[in-house]
Amino acid sequence: MSLCNFKIVLLILWLLPVNVAYAGTINVAVASNALIALKFLADDFFTKYNHKVVISSGSTGKLYSQIINGAPFDIFLAANEREPLRLEQNNAIVTSSRFTYAYGRLALCTIKQKFNNDIKNIVDFNKVQFNRLAIANPKIAPYGLAAEQFLKKKNIWEVLQNKIIRAENINQAFQYVISGNADFGVVALSQVKQYFVKPLYCKVISDTLHEALKQQAVLLTRSKNNPAANEFYTYLKSKQVKFILNNKFGYSVN
Residue 4 lies in a domain: no
pLDDT tens-digit series, residues 199-209: 999 999 999 99
What is the edge-to-edge ordering of all strands in the sheet holding 24-31?
51-58, 24-31, 75-77, 213-219, 99-104
Q: How far apart are CA 116 and CA 133, in angstroms?
A: 15
Give the distance from CA 87 to its chain's centroid: 19
150 sits in which H/E element: helix 142-153
* φ/ψ of residue 36, rounded to 5: -65, -40
Instruction: Indicate if 89 and 122 belong to the same structural domain.
Output: no
Residue 239 lies in a domain: yes
Instruction: Indicate if 221 and 171 belong to the same structural domain.
Output: no
Instruction: Indicate if 87 and 116 belong to the same structural domain.
Output: no
Residue 254 lies in a domain: no
Instruction: Indicate if 120 and 195 belong to the same structural domain.
Output: yes
- Please name the amino acid found at residue 17: P
**Domain holding 242: CATH number?**
3.40.190.10
* φ/ψ of residue 70, rounded to 5: 100, 10
pLDDT beneath 70, residues of the chain: 1-22, 121-126
20 sits in which H/E element: none
pTM for this entry:
0.86
CA terminus-to-terminus distance, the chain: 66
Predicted confidence at residue 15, as pLDDT, reads 53
Q: How far is CA 106 from CA 5, 137, 210, in A?
A: 61, 14, 9
Domain residues for the domain of 226 are 20-103+213-247
Q: Are strands 51-58 and 24-31 parallel, antiparallel or unpaired?
A: parallel
Query: Is residue 47 packed enough to be buried (19+ CB in 10 Å), middle (13-18) or exposed (0-12)?
Result: exposed
Count CB-CB contacts under 10 A for residue 89.
9
Predicted confidence at residue 127, as pLDDT, reads 75
Predicted confidence at residue 66, as pLDDT, reads 97
Instruction: Indicate if 39 and 77 belong to the same structural domain.
Output: yes
Q: At what angle do helices 82-89 and 60-68 cross, to 10 degrees?
A: 10
- Please name the amino acid found at residue 252: S
Query: Is residue 78 packed enough to be buried (19+ CB in 10 Å), middle (13-18) or exposed (0-12)?
Result: buried
Q: How far apart are CA 163 and CA 160, in angstroms?
A: 5
Sequence length of the chain is: 254
pLDDT tens-digit series, residues 165-224: 999 999 999 999 999 999 999 999 999 999 888 899 999 999 999 999 999 999 999 999
Q: How far apart are CA 252 and CA 116, in angstroms?
A: 26
Counted domains in the chain: 2
* φ/ψ of residue 182, rounded to 5: -120, 140
